[in-house]
A and B are shown apart, each in its own frame.
Chain A
Amino acid sequence: MNLMIKAYRRKLDVANGRVDLSHGAGGRAMGQLIEGVFYEAFDNDWLRAGNDQSAFSVPGGRMVMTTDGYVVSPLFFPGGNIGTLAVHGTINDIAMAGAVPLYLSASFIIEEGFPFADLERIAQSMGAASREAGVPIITGDTKVVERGKADGVFISTAGVGMVPDGLDLRSDAARPGDAVIISGSIGDHGVAVMSKRENLEFDTDIVSDSAALHGLVADMVAAGGAHIRLMRDPTRGGIAATLNEIASQSRVGFRIDEDKIPLKPEVAAACEFLGLDPLNVANEGKLVAVVAPEGADAVLAAMRAHPLGGEAALVGHVVADDNCFVQMTTSFGGGRIVDWLSGEQLPRIC
């Protein structure tokens, strides 16, 4: 067993350990928590496929269902808020199966004392986001907890959608030679949120890229559906976590080119200032597609023709690698690994 897999599969110390912040940060610790607690308890093949949604057969076709929780802080940030994030994120989880999102649910856990005005602002923007996307919120739930037992408001969502006939995107489908395409600049959402964090406020024009990607996905599927192996939206943990996840699930490696990864100078500057790697920073309106080589040009062209994929770029290829390493040629021409984020991405001392 290779080093990375062995390390990744280290078991949680369930008897003595406690949840800490790293278990929610999208990195290896979160994977251990999911595997060690939830997979153990809910054990089934849909869950163990490791997608952000599960497709299942129903009379008349294949359906997708997903669920997600939103605990972002601050609740409002440049380019959106926790509500728009919940709508976009859930739609995107469905869209990454190539599916057409149909309906959403939204469940609110609200802290005692939370201002109605903020709640209304969140709800109104959620309504607007769902109407704009054409995906209505058709059911929901509300709970209020005592002051101090939540951070303002938490939102849980669920979403369902239908998979077009003949499409079957699978997390283990990446094959050596496949192209890796990113739909646009990385790290915008994470930097926008961090710029408004308490104790860390800094001036930047960067706004979150939060957006519903199902329209972009529909155009990609129309242009090269049969050639698309899989898609992912690189949220927490960023591009690095997404590529490592795919590498582990498909038992392949990646070789990507740093110079080809779209990155706004402002995001690069903020990451530099904070000592963060943009490859680990969250996105909310971007996708990574692994596409068979013969379909790469058509899919890329379709993405670039869509408003949300204008900066789409082919950034590398899938390679055969039993170690499942994601390797990157740096802007200097050297080589390095792009690893999972380990725990939370924390600013360095110096």
Chain B
Amino acid sequence: MKYIDEYRDGRLAKDIARQIAALADPARSYHFMEFCGGHTHAISRYGLEDLLPANVRMIHGPGCPVCVLPIGRIDAAIALAMRPEITLCTYGDLMRVPGSNGSSLLKAKAAGADIRMVYSTLDALRIAEAELEREVVFFAIGFETTTPPTALALKAAIAKGLGNFSIFCNHVLTPPAIQNILESPDVRKLGTIKIDGFVGPAHVSTVIGTEPYEFFAGEFQKPVVVAGFEPLDVIQAILMLVRQVNDGRHEVENQYIRGVTALGNEKAQAEVANFFELRESFEWRGLGEVPYGALRLRPKYVAYDAEKRFSMVTPAAKDNPACECGAILRGVKRPADCKLFGTVCTLDTPMGSCMVSSEGACAAHWTYGRFREKARQVDGGRAVA
């Protein structure tokens, strides 16, 4: 598999791991947060933690658009989909996300709602063209990576004069969320954990570039390495972060030079800017209200805005009070520290945001790593640093 196998070379990974071990100062510890669920997934799936020295710890961040979608938005989508005239199109991994009282889009579909799983915005557009008598709503979700395709679908819908196509916009933005982890009212409540640097999401930066992280790195004096999602990308980014910490630097570095530039894809940015504007505030599941953390359609495209067009209401719905997602998303607690983890909250019955998506921290730990908890118990509770 050209361009894949090259980034999964176990021999090279062990060599980089040896470099990390040689550079990591035994007198100190290193705590790095990988913001994006794609990185969490790679770390867990390839067992990268096993390659790192004990004083280099990865903290799993909130970066999964499915995880951070609040219950109320799912409830609103289900309520919309239950209307007889509506066809709701959605990406597959939203289907199981729990709303209130154990509801989900998958269950709503089984109960008769016309919910169709699509693989791209264009699939939704095709359905709208083929079924002009239906109101086709695309459940748009994702970070900066998936926003341009939504913008292009809108552009195409307008060009085709499709009056039965609209968007339920749930696009969220990465830089404000990273900032929120270090600086928000919840930090006072939940406490903070030492974070020495961030692994930044490469796919997001293919669109926005590395520049938006410059302010963050300077303001909070935290190094950021924008990295790809292959295991070698991640481990190389960790090496780059260790070097920065040792040197006392806090710069934005680009590990993913094969796809990311400083300014990103300006054409895509222009398309997004044409159709979307910032929301003053948007709830992120597990993080609470994040100022300027999401997008909505500009007022001139109100006809394509499902929230307005169908007078959608986002009900106030709260996570289980015992859920520790807020602390886990900030790295203050580990998945297994939560009382719900593995008891009432599992992949089949996810309660909180971290278990909701396959890329959430709890889901990754449950799927790939829960044997480590058992190993700790067997070792008499010896925690792995």
Contacts and interface: CB of A to CB of B under 8 A. Distances in A.
A348 B8 contact: no
B109 to A, nearest CB: 7
A119 to B, nearest CB: 27
Q: Report, as a range, how many residues of chain A touch the other chain.
A: 35 or more
Contacts, number: 136
B73 interface: no
Contacts of B1: 265, 268-269, 272
B348 A20 contact: no
Given A331-B46, A334-B49, A18 B348 contact: no
A168 B141 CA distance: 53
Nearest to B358: A348
A3 B51 contact: no
B110 to A, nearest CB: 4
Given A269-B4, A332-B51, A334-B47, 20 more contacts: A2-B374, A10-B346, A10-B348, A18-B110, A18-B111, A259-B10, A330-B46, A330-B47, A332-B47, A333-B50, A335-B47, A336-B46, A337-B368, A339-B366, A344-B95, A346-B92, A347-B91, A347-B92, A348-B358, A350-B142
Contact of B141 (A323, A346, A349): A349
Given A325-B374, A332-B51, A349 B107 contact: no
A336 B348 contact: no
B93 A330 contact: no
B358 A199 contact: no
B349 A10 contact: yes
A131 B319 CA distance: 58
Interface stretch (B115-123, B246-254, B283-291, B322-330): B115-123
Given A20-B110, A272-B4, A350 B65 contact: yes
26 contacts: A7-B342, A7-B348, A18-B111, A19-B110, A20-B109, A29-B348, A323-B371, A323-B374, A330-B45, A332-B10, A332-B46, A332-B231, A333-B50, A334-B46, A336-B45, A336-B47, A337-B367, A339-B368, A342-B358, A343-B106, A344-B95, A346-B93, A346-B95, A347-B92, A348-B357, A350-B65
A325 B368 CA distance: 10
Contacts of B369: 336-337
B374 A21 contact: no
A105 interface: no
Interface of B: 1, 4, 8, 10, 13-14, 38, 44-51, 65-66, 91-96, 106-107, 109-111, 117-119, 123, 141-143, 145-146, 203, 231, 342-343, 346-349, 357-359, 366-371, 374
A29 B350 CA distance: 13
A28 interface: yes
A22 interface: yes
B180 to A, nearest CB: 20
B342 A342 contact: no
A336 B370 CA distance: 9
